[in-house]
A and B are shown apart, each in its own frame.
Chain A
């Protein structure tokens, strides 16, 4: 597959992820959308890795994977607590920070 096609796929995934994040209301789906966007970014980086500078791009991919894994762990824990305490996990459950 050509790089252009792969980059298009990557852009599609990122856009879909961001759009999903804005459109959906339950936290779990928003989290999934975020992961999709991150995967899109990873895909673009991997294309760079195979075409031009392997080490830097691969390092970035591993870093993003690590951050994503940590983020999922924290986010899932937060969602679990939200469901236990408030019975639901939608984006409007925590607005105490409102100025």
Chain B
């Protein structure tokens, strides 16, 4: 039983280990089979566990990990309604992206390193998901952060990629610091870090303590899940290979924050303020990122901001108390967003640029890519019948019941989403070719994963009620009831807005054939609200100048002087005592004899 769960985690770990240690002895074909196969095993094991254990919560003990006094952390794996869905989604999407990567990264000289990192990532993510306590989750949390850094900077000889990797790592450090403090606080409050224990005791915590712990943990979530104020690393993370963006920076890792909040929902619920913060940070991030996405010309940047925006929705869903709605959006988003990224990768692979202004008219050359991308775009825009519609609609309905303002911002953001997605489609696939000469459809090894994801992007939305029932045993899953007519009206508004936005995008980018690019607002948006510049001035510059001052004055003046001084002390001391070293045997013997005489004198003083 526990073997099956261990297999889910360990198969990709073994893959990473073999590729790192023995990768150079493996041929190209061996790597291409081996690396996806380990993740495939993991996916199969998840599937078997999913059908046998179903959603019955149970902890599978493997071995003791930390044991200090009364404090114990076991290395065990938690299978419950939440982790079962996450494990299945993560291993499934990861498996498809591994296969796609064979086509996308096959020609790259660093493919062994690439697949080793990708396997290591899958291992870390599954560890994060199946962790039964905060310390183990933190290990997975840091593991995925490391892999994210390594894969963003995969082409490290490009300065932009190396810098983006560093930026992601440092920004995440800030969030992880909060996460760690939250863990410490919970430890001092409760003395036990098992999720089940924390959730069962959350009600007995003082409100302020629960608020502090929840907000600190949420700071970690904003780092990993790219929310305000720490979202700035994700757009830059697009420097990594596109399948990486699909897997890590869209489908799995960046949703870890949502998963963590869902996991510890009773703690957040203990403090109403923390949940309110989660909901509002989510919706503001969603709106802000969507507006920035409107003016991006890099196909991956559009998708990156759209990811930030969609994760904002998830947080809003969880923040208004609808954990199942937030998690359902995470579930469907994993499929359609990885699909969009893979399709974008297919386009980039074909035309060799990421700038949409140099694309255009790719519809006929790349019919499969065009169709799957359109399905993904319809799904994310919330067009009825597609996955995103059901999940987003559920979040919006729950947000409406919580606060009308939340709903209004959310529904406008949904309109913006539809607009920028179809702006992307019209600029990329319609109109006249601009710049590219030889485009080609991607090979089956890339097309088939996209087709499977396209299928999932449609049907995964149809199962909300069973999804909701599946999560029920967690005990904190509930939805507010909305009057049927009211629900239909809300649905009508959001769908109507999305359709109107698509038509508007068509009119601006196909009919008028030129975007709106004048005015103050456009400048503000293309400069991403100057957030990077503000952070630069507010944090980076003072920090760098402070570090420089410390290095110049404290380091050189105090530390260096102390170190050099101690060296000088021994040197001078040695020189001072060197007169004793005459090199004459008799002198040394004399010193010895003198020593003996003194020793004897001291010893026999009583007798004299």
Contacts and interface: CB of A to CB of B under 8 A. Distances in A.
12 contacts: A22-B593, A91-B584, A91-B585, A92-B585, A94-B585, A97-B581, A97-B583, A98-B581, A98-B583, A99-B578, A99-B580, A99-B583
Interface residues of A, number: 12
A94 B589 contact: no
Contacts of B589: 21-22
Nearest to B578: A99
B593 A96 contact: no
Contacts of A52: none
Interface in B548-597: 578-586, 589-590, 593
Contacts of B593: 18, 22
Given A92-B584, A99-B579, 14 more contacts: A21-B589, A22-B589, A22-B593, A30-B585, A91-B585, A91-B586, A94-B585, A95-B582, A95-B584, A97-B581, A98-B582, A99-B578, A99-B580, A99-B583
Contact of B583 (A21, A22, A96): A96
Interface in A64-99: 91-92, 94-99
Interface of A: 18, 21-22, 30, 91-92, 94-99
Contacts of B582: 95, 98-99
Interface residues of B, number: 12
A22 B578 contact: no
A2 B583 CA distance: 44
Interface of B: 578-586, 589-590, 593
B603 to A, nearest CB: 14
Contacts of B590: 22
Nearest to A34: B589
Contacts of A95: 582-584
B580 A22 contact: no
B587 to A, nearest CB: 10
Nearest to B589: A21
A95 B590 CA distance: 16
A92 B584 CA distance: 7
A88 B200 CA distance: 90
A98 B586 CA distance: 13
Top 9 A-B pairs, shortest CB-CB distance: A98-B583, A99-B578, A95-B583, A99-B581, A91-B585, A97-B583, A97-B581, A98-B582, A21-B589
A96 B584 CA distance: 9
A22 B583 CA distance: 15
A21 B585 CA distance: 10
B601 to A, nearest CB: 15
Contacts of A97: 581, 583
